[in-house]
């Protein structure tokens, strides 16, 4: 089998890259180790920057998003028992769209199938070869039979635990990491959200976040200990803790209901440099992770594949490799700025056991300052709506 671009991983990065390449007439095959249902079962953030929305439209998958996505002009910061608004549209002229990553993935999957693009699911022992020389190829086993796909380029869109980054010789890659001393306990419930604007709450008991998937489905989180087990958190315990961390005017709007999903996720900042190794490119979670505060993960992934698809289109169309040669530098410049924003937002909003009461007062001083400074609100809004590609 032969294709122009072999894409490893059918998460949002791999599927969006495939769709964008297809628009440019570039042939690609996606190889994924899991089943479609497994991929759709992962629940992640649900806030899309305008750059991401534009790329989804460019890929031809913007229709349902345009009809069902909820546009937000602002987000909410809650602290000291008060509710404050960070105006996005007023300060930047941009909005964010609330639309779940699961739905983005579903739209991309349906589009891929309808366009007849080839996707291999449930591929075992996926391996990447020859990317440092002239014969890049991907191998895997499907139903016990060995398969080989020859290609011009390999796109490593296989997430943090994928095989692509792991296949790069240790001396060729540098990694940067910060692990946070807490996790997020999240629930999904079919109850009306307390607000259609996303609420980030700083509280002595820990951080809380109120988000949504639709007008009838809420996605809520509380900061928890890394030792906590999901089984030890009953729905009743979650609702009580969530309400305790919100100012009364928001807590009073909570409608409780049974959780339809409940999970704990650790928080991590991670970057691997560079994002290109010969004929292998990394994109999305395969090369960087952000903590979820600010919802940058999916948006960064979209930005990466936006840049990569344009660079590949230049290679095949205009026969110039300038953009391919610049991909890693350009993508990383954007990645590090989103890393900084996610780290800063996480640091300002969570209880850090080791920072004690002094750390908590510093956070409140910073939040107070933020709400008194037009300049700083503009800085925060600009980062939240996303930096240009
Ligand atoms: N071979 C083939 N596929 C693999 C392999 C492998 N060895 N290892 C992992 N995969 C697949 C995973 O099963 C997954 O479907 O690669 C896909 C990677 O998808 P994601 O982890 O969703 O990463 P990405 O597409 O970059 O999406 C980034 O997802 O994790 C969130 O916060 C992140 O929102 C961001 C977005
Ligand atoms: C979510 O909807 O799951 C979500 C929203 C905003 C965040 C993180 C997660 O910052």
32 and 114 in a single domain? The answer is yes
35 and 117 in a single domain? The answer is yes
CATH number, residue 312: 3.50.50.60
In short, whether 156's Cβ falls inside 6 Å of ligand 1 is no
Of all protein residues, the one whose alpha carbon is nearest to atom 32 of ligand 1 is 297
- Rg (C-alpha) for the chain, rounded Å, is 21
In short, whether 377's Cβ falls inside 6 Å of ligand 2 is no
Q: In what order do the strands lie in the sheet with 137-142?
A: 124-129, 137-142, 145-150
190 and 256 in a single domain? The answer is yes
- Looking at every residue in the chain, the average pLDDT score rounds to 97
pLDDT in tens, 345-388: 999 999 999 999 999 999 999 999 999 999 999 999 999 999 99
Give the residue among 113, 140, 115, 144 at the shortest CA–CA distance from 129.
Answer: 140
In short, whether 46's Cβ falls inside 6 Å of ligand 2 is yes
In short, whether 49's Cβ falls inside 6 Å of ligand 1 is no
193 and 131 in a single domain? The answer is no
In short, whether 306's Cβ falls inside 6 Å of ligand 2 is no
95 inside domain: no
Report the C-alpha gap between 10 and 373 in whole angstroms.
Answer: 43
136 inside domain: yes
107 and 154 in a single domain? The answer is yes
275 inside domain: yes
Please report the pLDDT score of residue 230 as a whole number: 97
33 and 110 in a single domain? The answer is yes
Burial of 15 (0-12, 13-18, 19+ CB in 10 A): buried
341 and 224 in a single domain? The answer is no
Q: Work out whether strand 199-201 and strand 74-79 pair parallel, antiparallel, or are unpaired.
A: parallel
63 inside domain: no
The conformation of residue 321, written as its DSSP 8-state character, comes to -
pLDDT in tens, 188-227: 999 999 999 999 999 999 999 999 999 999 999 999 999 9
38 and 104 in a single domain? The answer is yes
Contact 131, 278 (CB under 8 A): yes
56 inside domain: no
Identify the nearest ligand to the CA of 101 by its number: 1
Query: Looking at ligand 1, which atom is closest to the CA of residue 292?
Result: 32
- Residue 241 CA, ligand 1 centroid: distance in Å: 31
User: What mean pLDDT comes out for the span 82-95?
Assistant: 98
Please report the pLDDT score of residue 134 as a whole number: 87
Please report the pLDDT score of residue 361 as a whole number: 97
Query: Looking at ligand 2, which atom is closest to the CA of residue 100?
Result: 2
227 inside domain: yes
275 and 193 in a single domain? The answer is no
pLDDT in tens, 220-232: 999 999 999 999 9
- Residue 94 CA, ligand 1 centroid: distance in Å: 28
Res 279 pLDDT > 90: yes
Give the residue among 351, 175, 378 at the shortest CA–CA distance from 272.
Answer: 175
Of 42, 104, 284, 292, which is best to mutate to test ligand 1, by the most ligand atoms within 8 angstroms of its C-beta?
A: 284
CATH number, residue 217: 3.30.9.10
Please report the pLDDT score of residue 319 as a whole number: 85
Query: Cβ of 231: how many Cβ atoms within 10 Å?
Result: 7
134 inside domain: yes
User: What mean pLDDT comes out for the span 160-165?
Assistant: 98
Of all protein residues, the one whose alpha carbon is nearest to atom 7 of ligand 2 is 295
Dihedral sign for Cα atoms in the order 283, 288, 294, 295: positive
User: What mean pLDDT comes out for the span 64-69?
Assistant: 97
Res 42 pLDDT > 90: no
206 and 333 in a single domain? The answer is no
- Residue 338 CA, ligand 1 centroid: distance in Å: 19
Joined tokens for residue 182? 């807490």
Contact 195, 210 (CB under 8 A): yes
Please report the pLDDT score of residue 247 as a whole number: 98
User: What mean pLDDT comes out for the span 318-345?
Assistant: 97
What is the domain extent for residue 168? 5-43+100-177+268-346
86 inside domain: no
167 and 277 in a single domain? The answer is yes
123 and 38 in a single domain? The answer is yes
Please report the pLDDT score of residue 218 as a whole number: 97
User: What mean pLDDT comes out for the span 46-59?
Assistant: 97
Identify the nearest ligand to the CA of 290 by its number: 1
Give the residue among 358, 351, 297, 307 at the shortest CA–CA distance from 329.
Answer: 307
- Residue 292 CA, ligand 2 centroid: distance in Å: 7
Of 8, 10, 11, 164, which is best to mutate to test ligand 1, by the most ligand atoms within 8 angstroms of its C-beta?
A: 11
User: What is the number of structural domains in the chain?
Assistant: 2
Of 47, 97, 297, which is best to mutate to test ligand 2, by the most ligand atoms within 8 angstroms of its C-beta?
A: 47
Percent of the chain with pLDDT over 90: 97
């Amino acid at each position: 089998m032969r294709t122009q671009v072999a894409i490893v991983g059918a998460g949002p990065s791999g599927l969006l890259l495939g769709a964008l390449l297809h628009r440019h007439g570039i042939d690609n095959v996606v190889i994924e180790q899991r089943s479609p249902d497994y991929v759709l079962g992962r629940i992640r953030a649900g806030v899309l920057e305008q750059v991401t929305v534009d790329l989804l439209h460019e890929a031809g998958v913007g229709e349902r998003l345009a009809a069902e996505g909820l546009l937000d002009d602002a987000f909410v910061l809650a602290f000291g028992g008060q509710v404050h608004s960070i105006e996005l549209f007023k300060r930047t002229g941009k909005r964010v769209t609330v639309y779940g990553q699961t739905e983005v993935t579903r739209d991309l999957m349906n589009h891929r199938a309808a366009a007849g693009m080839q996707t291999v699911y449930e591929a075992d022992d996926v391996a990447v070869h020859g990317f440092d020389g002239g014969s890049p190829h991907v191998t895997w086993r499907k139903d016990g039979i060995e398969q080989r796909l020859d290609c011009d380029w390999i796109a490593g869109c296989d997430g943090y635990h994928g095989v692509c980054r792991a296949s790069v010789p240790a001396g060729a890659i540098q990694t940067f990491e910060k692990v946070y001393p807490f996790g997020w306990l999240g629930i999904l419930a079919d109850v009306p959200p307390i607000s259609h604007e996303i609420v980030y709450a700083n509280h002595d008991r820990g951080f809380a976040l109120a988000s949504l998937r639709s007008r009838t489905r809420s996605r809520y989180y509380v900061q928890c200990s890394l030792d906590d087990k999901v089984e030890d958190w009953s729905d009743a315990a979650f609702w009580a803790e969530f309400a305790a961390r919100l100012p009364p005017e928001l807590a009073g709007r909570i409608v409780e209901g049974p959780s339809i999903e409940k999970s704990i996720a650790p928080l991590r900042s991670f970057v691997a440099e560079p994002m290109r190794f010969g004929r292998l490119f990394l994109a999305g979670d395969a090369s960087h992770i952000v903590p979820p505060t600010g919802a940058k993960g999916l948006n960064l992934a979209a930005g990466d594949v936006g840049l990569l698809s344009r660079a590949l289109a230049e290679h095949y169309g205009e026969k110039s490799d300038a953009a391919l040669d610049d991909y890693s530098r350009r993508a990383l410049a954007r990645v590090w700025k989103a890393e900084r924003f996610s780290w800063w937002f996480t640091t300002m909003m969570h209880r850090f056991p080791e920072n004690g009461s002094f750390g908590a007062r510093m956070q409140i001083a910073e939040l107070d300052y933020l709400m008194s400074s037009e300049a700083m609100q503009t800085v925060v809004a600009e980062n939240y709506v996303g930096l240009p590609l």
